[in-house]
């Protein structure tokens, strides 16, 4: 009675169960395996597993099963690394996205009382649902990670991302002694554009200038919107002269062409402060401050220009000035 019960359960349980002997002949093939392989037990029993299913990765799987016989130990495969062993259809033909049923398998050594392993029993679990959900989750996480670093209006990097990248570059510059510079620029008279032509016009200016500058920075540079009408370009492996040349190029590109908004053509220019991570700077915030002080000089010089930090910005000179 109890044997019938076990046999019934093994046959009907919603998990694939099969077993092979030492010569890889199939000695158990349950109903789950029958249904999904479209092969009845009598077509498979007593036959070599690999001859019945030539699509199986023979060399690897034989080694794995052989290992269970020799080491008398469990072995496993997971859908995460190897999505399927058998080319079984899954039951989500419409909502799926996977080619075959994802499968996780456990290989169990079978002993009949003695010490020798007589057979290897494989239980095969359908992991398709888990796999599909995991793929969706991975996609959602990737897009979340992307959006968390992007400025909603302009699509370029946001302040959060800029600060984290600047902090990394600053550490790298300190560790390896490679130069690092920064451009901080600000659209001139932006408030006037907003006041005269409306916020929609202001938004369009921000978008157009962001795209224009993004096309003209080097691939290694990191460009983003720092806030309001302020933008930052991080220039790794670049000294102050290099930063000045880059800023001058961007300045002329920004000012060269007015931004079209409806019928109107809005003249735009920007002021550029640059700074280099000199040895006296102890943090990336100090580097930002120094670029900001240079930007401030631009404003007093009549805007639409590029300025270095004043010589007085070195600590020794600051002390002397006091």
Catalytic residue list: 229
| Rounded distance between C-alpha atoms, residue 315 and residue 305, angstroms | 25
Considering the complex, what minimum distance in angstroms separates the CB of residue 124 from another protein?
Answer: 13
DSSP lists the bridge partners of residue 276 as 181
Distances (CA, A) of 305 to 38, 244, 257, 268, 269: 76, 11, 16, 13, 9
Considering the complex, what minimum distance in angstroms separates the CB of residue 125 from another protein?
Answer: 10
| Rounded distance between C-alpha atoms, residue 273 and residue 281, angstroms | 16
Considering the complex, what minimum distance in angstroms separates the CB of residue 106 from another protein?
Answer: 7
Q: Which residues form the interface with another protein (CB under 8 A)? A: 57, 59-64, 66-67, 70-78, 80-82, 104, 106
Residue placing its CB nearer to another protein in the complex, 73 or 252:
73
Considering the complex, what minimum distance in angstroms separates the CB of residue 45 from another protein?
Answer: 26
E-assigned strand segments in the chain: 16-20, 26-29, 75-77, 103-110, 119-126, 180-187, 222-227, 230-236, 259-261, 264-266, 270-276, 306-307
CB 301 within 8 A of CB 307: yes
Residue placing its CB nearer to another protein in the complex, 32 or 125:
125
Residue placing its CB nearer to another protein in the complex, 61 or 205:
61
| Rounded distance between C-alpha atoms, residue 166 and residue 224, angstroms | 11
> Quick one: tokens of 142?
């990737």
**Residue 116: which of 22, 191, 181, 180 has the closest Cα?**
22
Considering the complex, what minimum distance in angstroms separates the CB of residue 56 from another protein?
Answer: 12
Considering the complex, what minimum distance in angstroms separates the CB of residue 138 from another protein?
Answer: 13
Strand-strand pairing, 119-126 and 16-20: antiparallel
DSSP lists the bridge partners of residue 260 as 265
Residue placing its CB nearer to another protein in the complex, 81 or 300:
81
Q: For residue 305, give the 3-state DSSP assignment.
A: coil
- Angle, helices 190-197/199-214, rounded to nearest 10 degrees: 140
Residue placing its CB nearer to another protein in the complex, 42 or 80:
80
CB 126 within 8 A of CB 98: no
Considering the complex, what minimum distance in angstroms separates the CB of residue 131 from another protein?
Answer: 12
Residue placing its CB nearer to another protein in the complex, 117 or 180:
117
| Rounded distance between C-alpha atoms, residue 197 and residue 194, angstroms | 6
Residue placing its CB nearer to another protein in the complex, 8 or 60:
60
């Amino acid at each position: 009675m109890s044997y019938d019960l076990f046999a019934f359960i093994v046959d009907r349980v919603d998990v694939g169960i099969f077993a092979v002997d030492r010569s890889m002949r199939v000695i158990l093939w349950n109903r789950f395996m029958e249904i999904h392989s479209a092969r009845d037990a009598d077509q498979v029993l007593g036959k070599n597993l690999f001859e019945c299913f030539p699509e199986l990765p023979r060399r690897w799987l034989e080694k794995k099963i052989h290992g269970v016989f020799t080491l008398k130990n469990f072995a496993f495969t997971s859908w995460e690394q190897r999505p399927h062993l058998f080319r079984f259809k899954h039951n989500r033909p419409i909502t799926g996205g996977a080619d075959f049923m994802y499968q996780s398998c456990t290989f169990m050594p079978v002993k009949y009382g003695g010490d020798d392993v007589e057979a290897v029993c494989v239980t095969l679990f359908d992991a398709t649902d888990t796999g599909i959900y995991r793929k969706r989750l991975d996609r959602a996480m990737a897009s979340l990670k992307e959006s968390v670093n992007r400025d909603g209006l302009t699509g370029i990097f946001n302040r959060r991302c800029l600060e984290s990248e600047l902090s990394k570059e600053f550490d790298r510059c300190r560790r390896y002694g490679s130069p690092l510079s920064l451009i901080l620029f600000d659209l001139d008279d932006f408030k006037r554009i907003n006041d005269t032509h409306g916020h929609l016009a202001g938004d369009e200016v921000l978008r157009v200038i962001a795209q224009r500058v993004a096309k003209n920075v080097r691939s290694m540079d990191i460009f983003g919107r720092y806030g309001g009408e302020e933008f930052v370009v991080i220039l790794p492996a670049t000294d102050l002269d290099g930063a000045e040349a880059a800023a001058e190029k961007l300045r002329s590109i920004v000012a060269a062409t007015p931004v079209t908004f409806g019928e109107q053509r809005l003249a735009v220019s920007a002021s550029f402060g640059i700074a280099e991570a000199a040895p006296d700077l102890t943090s990336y915030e100090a580097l930002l401050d120094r670029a900001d002080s240079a930007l401030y000089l631009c404003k007093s010089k009549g805007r639409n220009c590029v300025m270095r930090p004043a010589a007085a910005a070195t600590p020794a000179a600051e002390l002397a000035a006091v």
